[in-house]
């Protein structure tokens, strides 16, 4: 039976068991060995894993894989040309880093450039990438880690879906000292390397921009702050900017339960509900002159709500947010925003996980500065 204490990938364990069975005569020349499905059911693994085990055995010349018939034991010197043609015989490279990349999701405003940076660095360093999106669901995140481990991933880059919920598979990676880098956030209580934006400093810069334009009644729109460390840090930076400018915080102007932008929640119904929520919030606070949105998509919701009230951006209300798709200038609305170094973040994540694989010292907490980009959405406060 397979040992739970064995740190080897599942496909290697199954490979070794089958090779031993062949050498011990359990499966003799010409005899069919268990299929992918049979192995998957017997060892409770995916068919991808069992297939990889069979491919490894075929690469050793011990079996011939015949489509529609199965895998049969052969002697390497006695294979016919047809047998050799029907066998998939990959060259196994144990020296190639295989990194599992798991992200909640990615889009034009955030994620595409991050992926570009990761892919570029992976190609530069000869790294093979496995990619899976979790859509913020812990069970998908856990399953991806397990499957990538079975496939031989020897390092992980993970963009966690939640900050408060720590899935058990991430804890196993930390406990087993598997190289792990968290992207754009950290998990409280977990000793793992992280590469992210300096969210607090960035938010401080954005709020400072509004304060310098004379805005004093500024609304802060965000998803529930318990979900991610990034949101919490952005709120902290917003507060710091007010303290530095000597301006009192008005928390009754905050709206921190925007949910339609959370992974898996971006539906028409949720969007309309959040727009109505923002409209009601603005009507309850007619003296509000600016909005700080912690995400680009929240800024879009705010702009829609402002427009539906017959107001304008920035004539009546200024808006600052994080990130803005680069395709917007000239073809869409260009928000004043905090531009994150996504490509650099991805590059640094790959380099960090590779250093961890080699046992080299790394900076466990990398924070990259964001840059304020002036757009069309901010102007001097319109005194109400």
Domain regions of the chain by residue span: 10-86, 98-197+342-368, 199-341
Report the percent of the chain where pLDDT is more than 70.
Answer: 88
**Whole-number Å distance between alpha carbons of 293 and 296:** 7
**Would the pLDDT of 316 be above 80?**
yes
**Whole-number Å distance between alpha carbons of 20 and 160:** 40
The architecture of the domain spanning 98-197+342-368 is: 3-Layer(aba) Sandwich (3.40)
CATH number given to 10-86:
1.10.10.10
CB atoms within 10 A of CB 288: 20
Phi and psi at residue 45, to the nearest 5°? -130, 175
Pairing relationship of beta strands 70-73 and 63-66 according to DSSP bridges: antiparallel
Q: Which long-range contacts (CB under 8 A, 24 or more apart) does 17-26 make?
A: 18/53, 18/54, 18/57, 19/57, 19/60, 19/62, 22/57, 22/62, 22/63, 22/73
* Common-topology check for domains 98-197+342-368 and 199-341: yes
Report the pLDDT averaged over residues 207-225.
95
The single residue listed with the structure tokens 């990398």 is 366
Helix (H, G, I), strand (E, B) or coil at 315: coil
**Model confidence pLDDT, tens digit, residues 2-60:** 554 456 788 888 988 998 888 888 998 889 999 988 998 999 888 888 888 888 888 77
Longest dimension (CA), the chain: 90
Q: Is 344 exposed, middle or buried (0-12, 13-18, 19+ CB in 10 A)?
A: middle
CB atoms within 10 A of CB 339: 17
Report the pLDDT averaged over residues 63-76.
78
The single residue listed with the structure tokens 């869409």 is 332
**Model confidence pLDDT, tens digit, residues 365-381:** 999 999 999 999 999 99
Q: What six digits make up the tokens of 210?
A: 């509004």
CATH 3.40.50.2300 fits 199-341, yes or no: yes
**Would the pLDDT of 91 be above 50?**
no
CB atoms within 10 A of CB 170: 23
**Model confidence pLDDT, tens digit, residues 221-280:** 999 876 578 899 999 999 999 999 999 998 999 999 999 988 777 789 999 999 999 999
Helix (H, G, I), strand (E, B) or coil at 221: strand
pLDDT band with cut points at 50, 70 and 90 for residue 116:
very high
């Amino acid at each position: 039976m397979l040992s739970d204490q064995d740190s080897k990938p599942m496909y290697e364990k199954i490979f070794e068991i089958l090779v031993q069975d062949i050498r011990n005569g359990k499966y003799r020349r010409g005899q069919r060995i268990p299929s992918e499905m049979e192995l998957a059911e017997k060892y409770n693994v995916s068919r991808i894993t069992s297939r990889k085990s069979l491919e490894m055995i075929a690469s050793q010349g011990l079996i011939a894989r015949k489509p529609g018939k199965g895998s049969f034991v052969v002697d390497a010197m006695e294979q016919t040309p047809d047998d050799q043609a029907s066998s998939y015989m990959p060259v196994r490279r144990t020296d190639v880093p295989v990194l599992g990349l798991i992200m909640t999701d990615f889009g034009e405003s955030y994620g595409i450039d991050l992926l570009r940076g990761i892919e570029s660095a992976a190609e530069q360093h000869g790294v093979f990438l496995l990619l899976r999106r979790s859509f913020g669901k812990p069970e998908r995140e856990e399953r991806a880690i397990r499957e990538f481990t079975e496939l031989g991933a020897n390092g992980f880059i993970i963009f966690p879906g939640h900050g408060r919920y720590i899935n058990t598979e991430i804890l196993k990676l930390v406990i087993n000292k598997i190289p792990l880098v968290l992207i754009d956030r950290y998990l409280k209580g977990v000793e793992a390397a992280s590469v992210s934006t300096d969210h607090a400093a960035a938010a401080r810069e954005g709020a400072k921009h509004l304060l310098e334009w004379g805005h004093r009644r500024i609304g802060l729109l965000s998803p529930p702050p318990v979900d991610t460390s990034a949101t919490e840090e952005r709120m902290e930076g917003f507060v710091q900017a007010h303290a530095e400018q000597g301006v009192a915080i008005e928390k009754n102007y905050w709206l921190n339960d925007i949910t339609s932008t959370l992974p898996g929640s971006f539906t028409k119904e949720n969007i309309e509900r959040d727009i109505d929520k923002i409209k009601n919030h603005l009507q309850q606070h007619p003296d509000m002159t600016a909005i700080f949105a912690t995400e680009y998509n929240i800024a879009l919701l705010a702009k829609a709500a402002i427009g539906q009230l017959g107001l304008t951006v920035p004539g009546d209300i200024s808006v600052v947010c994080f990130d803005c798709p680069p395709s917007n200038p000239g073809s869409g609305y260009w928000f004043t925003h905090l531009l994150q170094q996504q490509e650099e973040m991805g590059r640094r994540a790959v380099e960090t996980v590779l250093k961890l694989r080699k046992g080299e010292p790394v900076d466990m907490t990398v924070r990259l500065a964001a840059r304020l980009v002036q757009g069309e959405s901010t102007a001097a406060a319109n005194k109400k």
